[in-house]
Amino acid sequence: MEKWSSMTIIVLLGLIIRWTVSLGSYSGAGKPPMYGDYEAQRHWQEITYNLPVKHWYFNTTDNNLQYWGLDYPPLTAYHSLLCAYVAQLIDPSWVALHTSHGYESQPHKLFMRTTVLVADMLIYIPAVILYCCYLKDASNKKKISSALCILLYPGLILIDYGHFQYNSVSLGFALWGMLFLSYDLDVWGSIAFCFALNYKQMELYHSLPFFCYLLGKCFKKGLMGKGLVLTFLAILPSCIKLTMQPSLRGFKYSLGCCALSFFLFSFQVHEKSILLVSIPVCLLINEIPFMSAWFLLVSTFSMLPLLLKDGLLLSYIVTTLAFLMVCGTSFSILEKTSEADLKLKMFSASIRNYIPWFKIFPKTMKYLFLVSITMMGILTLMSATLDPPQKLPDLFPLTISVVSCLHFLFFLLYFNVIAIWESKSSSNQKKSN
């Protein structure tokens, strides 16, 4: 009973912080002619409500693909349609064909923010709570701490409730998949569900020759081919280990490795795609709190140029500091830097067979973490207060990207190391206090 009471308080806190962030600005607010992601989501509601399914993804007189053409999978389109039905009941002008372009008002903003919150409450938050409640070999304190940290992860909150998107839907479904991983029926059910959604979109396959043409051009230039090779090589070690020694813990490690590899080496990746890496890392926060919290802080920092563009500096600073404080209080992350805490004990022992003096010093990891936090703080301050040189207008975003990339390469190496060397019989199998 105490655990569920604590979980209820955590959910309420998460909801309060989410709604507080939603009171701020959003992508493209008052910036015609394209506005931003807020308008993209509203426009998709307009398209899906007013046009037949077969026209959703094709350029027509009523569907100008140059104006926020629907380019997300059908499940997203049906979610937009569901929201559009509610919008039509409240105020038809919100989804009126053509005339609603660029529509902005306080009531509509309240409606759009509410749709994100409802989706979060129905899909993502329940998955997080159930995942944490059924963590194996974890005390109630760790389960509660894990739920608190995951729900307060600033990256997802800032993008969904600040910038404006519905990432919690897809990420929530991914978490539900983790919860029911052992049931093959659920896997086949998901496949059947996707086929059912795509059935009415079969005309999409008419564009397959054009898609193949684009692929061929990309391969000819070598861009996609190089990305494919690098991604494959990066995911190979952890996948081989998982195949040889399958385990749920190994699956989570491999998930982080694969997601980060795709983010770093894929042909084309948006900065918001780091959320696809962050959620697998969230699943590890009870096992490796120091490295997980560090990664999640960097992932949020990597989106800073986008957040500044949307006027979300204050929300970014407050949520990031709150997350750092919660992780530090709940898990004492600065005290979790030993080889055992970092899951590097077996790796270090293997290396010392060849290099006797090799040792991962806890102080070194603390030092690197503090340097990293300081660097991110300085770059945040400079980006927010200083104007870049006229000859280097993208100096700060580029610097943030380079710093973030170096961090991510370091984390990719780390996650691969623990995925390969971590044993199922290691000390993390023991119940934590």
pLDDT tens for 371-427 read: 999 999 999 999 999 999 999 999 999 999 999 999 999 999 999 999 988 754 444
In a domain, 365, yes or no: yes
> Distance (Å, rounded) from C-alpha 430 to C-alpha 426?
8
In a domain, 189, yes or no: yes
In a domain, 92, yes or no: no
Regions of the chain where pLDDT drops below 50: 182-185, 197-215, 424-433
Count of C-beta atoms within a 10 Å radius of residue 111: 17
In a domain, 99, yes or no: no
> Distance (Å, rounded) from C-alpha 384 to C-alpha 133?
40
Is the CB of residue 399 less than 8 Å from the CB of residue 318?
Answer: no
For residue 38, which amino acid is it?
Answer: Y
In a domain, 82, yes or no: no
DSSP state of 60: B
Is the CB of residue 26 less than 8 Å from the CB of residue 38?
Answer: yes
User: How much is the pLDDT for 336?
Assistant: 87
SS3 284: coil
> Distance (Å, rounded) from C-alpha 15 to C-alpha 151?
9
| Residue 26, φ and ψ in degrees, nearest 5 | -150, 170
Say which residue the tokens 């749709």 belong to. Answer: 115
In a domain, 346, yes or no: yes
What is the residue range of 252's domain?
2-29+104-429
User: How much is the pLDDT for 183?
Assistant: 47
In a domain, 199, yes or no: yes
User: How much is the pLDDT for 216?
Assistant: 54
User: How much is the pLDDT for 426?
Assistant: 46
User: For 223-273, how does the pLDDT look when each residue is reduced to its tens digit (9 = 90+)?
Assistant: 566 777 888 888 899 888 888 888 888 889 999 999 999 999 887 678 889
User: How much is the pLDDT for 288?
Assistant: 94
In a domain, 152, yes or no: yes
SS3 319: helix
The helix/strand count (H/E) of the chain reads as 19, 0
Domain count along the chain: 1
User: How much is the pLDDT for 395?
Assistant: 94
> Distance (Å, rounded) from C-alpha 164 to C-alpha 157?
9
Torsion, CA 345, CA 351, CA 354, CA 356, rounded to 10: -50
Look at the pTM and tell me if it is higher than 0.85: yes
